[in-house]
Structure 1
Amino acid sequence: MPDRESILSPKDHFPFLEDAQTRADPNWNAAFPKGRLLLVTGDICESVVLVLRGQIRVYQVSNSGRELTLYRVGPGESCVLMLSSVLAEQSYPAVAAAETDVTAVTVPVAMFREWMQKSTGVQRFVYDTLYHRLTNVMVLVHEVTFGKMDVRIACYLLEHTSAENIELTVRHEDIALELGTAREVVTRILHTLERDSLIATGKGRITVTNRSALAKRCEDA
């Protein structure tokens, strides 16, 4: 049985595509395989990507090569840095990569700028995206600046598990990339959490064994 995302049309995800002012034809079925780099720092955006299926990871890379995830773009969304780069006519300030196979509508820059001038639906979509994504980035900045890494890892484990699904399949390197730290730091903190009987670790997996105690660690966030 097909999943819900596979049977939704582009206009289900992006209602503004119904607007009379947006009837020109974009590419309705662009495909980006997992691992594909859509944009890197300094690129000029040639189109706006509206995600239908899959997920794009947007991140920054330090001079030492360390990565920090800024946010992800899923179905019904577009990249706020892409939108701002297009509208401000500036280069892209991060890296955007397909974290899974991605299907999207791609709208040429000139067409999208015209839509932005003429369509209130497009304007509302852009402003909503700016507000919600920038709010999330502010939370990330607060966490990176003021949050202790052990607290951030505890919160990460809670966010990616549940009371019903206590096991997480993930590598230490993946957590490090997500949180913008070194793998060795993640390993050390996970060993501490395991020693305190909050989690159990195995090859490529982490099991939350004491969710309530782990949640208390997050109260300091």
Structure 2
Amino acid sequence: MEQLKSYKELFPFFEEISVNELNIHYVKKKFRKGETIFNEGDSCAGVPFVAKGCIRVSKIGKNGKEMSVYRIHAGETCILTITSIFSNEPYPLTAIVEEDAEAIIIPNEDFKLFMDTSRNFQEYIYKIISHRFLEVIQVIDEVIFQSIDERLIKLLLKYTKNDGNRIEMTHNKIAVEIGTAREVVSRLLKDMEKKGWIRLARGKIFVIKRDELEQFIKE
């Protein structure tokens, strides 16, 4: 019961395991930055509930090109492990630890039992599945209907919204975020720098003319 204390604020339904004496098993695990939790095609032995850190879920093509689909932060779980459990299908994407993480892993059969016995747990799962579904729809919309220029500018505006005018991110990481090649990102950033919209430095991008970037994506 001590092991669960730090998780109860993020996941209140874990209280029911001890209070209702449910026969739910779990294991607490730590993951290091850069560690791969799931590769595409892996079988899922349990569902992770993240209490600390961040896990990035992405699609990696046969040519090595990668695109981020969503991230799992503290207080969240991975819906693809859930869909894999109920569909009896392998994990469809790749999950990599972006920041050192801690999670409680509930084995498949225990997860199903918890779903059958806890209304609060059911509501949490349905809510996060709905949230992720809308998030993925947004990613699809951006990839299909928005140009790479627009996606790049939106990323710059998003990451500098609350942290001043600077973003610390490599061109390769930006390419993964918007689903394109690093060379394309570098070329577009150079073009924006020539226009005076941004300034490039080693590992950093400074947004100089935010209003002009915002105007570009409105047109």
State the TM-score bracket (shorter-chain normalisation).
Answer: over 0.9
Structure 2 distance, partners of 1:79, 1:92, is: 11
Gaps of 5+ in 2: none
Structure 2 distance, partners of 1:34, 1:152, is: 26
Gaps of 5+ in 1: 1-7
Verify the 8 A CA contact 2:53 2:99 in the aligned structure 1: yes
Matched, 1:198 2:197: yes
Query: Secondary structure at 1:13's aligned position in 2?
Result: coil
Query: Secondary structure at 2:114's aligned position in 1?
Result: helix
Structure 2 distance, partners of 1:46, 1:181, is: 32
Structure 1 distance, partners of 2:117, 2:26, is: 16
Verify the 8 A CA contact 2:25 2:110 in the aligned structure 1: no
Other-structure match for 2:15: 18
Equivalence map 1:180-219=2 (5 Å): 180-219=179-218
Q: CA deviation at 1:138?
A: 0.3
Other-structure match for 2:102: 103
Query: Secondary structure at 2:99's aligned position in 1?
Result: coil
Q: Which moved more, 1:170-179 or 1:17-26?
A: 17-26
Matched, 1:87 2:69: no
Q: Normalising by structure 2, what TM-score?
A: 0.92
Q: CA deviation at 1:24?
A: 2.9
Other-structure match for 1:41: 40
Q: Which moved more, 1:112-121 or 1:15-24?
A: 15-24
**Paired residue total:** 212
Matched, 1:153 2:152: yes
Q: Normalising by structure 1, what TM-score?
A: 0.92
Q: Which moved more, 1:122-131 or 1:66-75?
A: 122-131
Q: CA deviation at 1:23?
A: 6.1
Other-structure match for 1:69: 68
Structure 1 distance, partners of 2:203, 2:71, is: 22
Q: Structure 1 residue runs of 4+, over 6 Å off?
A: none
Letter in 2 for 1:14: F
The percent identity for this pair of structures is: 33
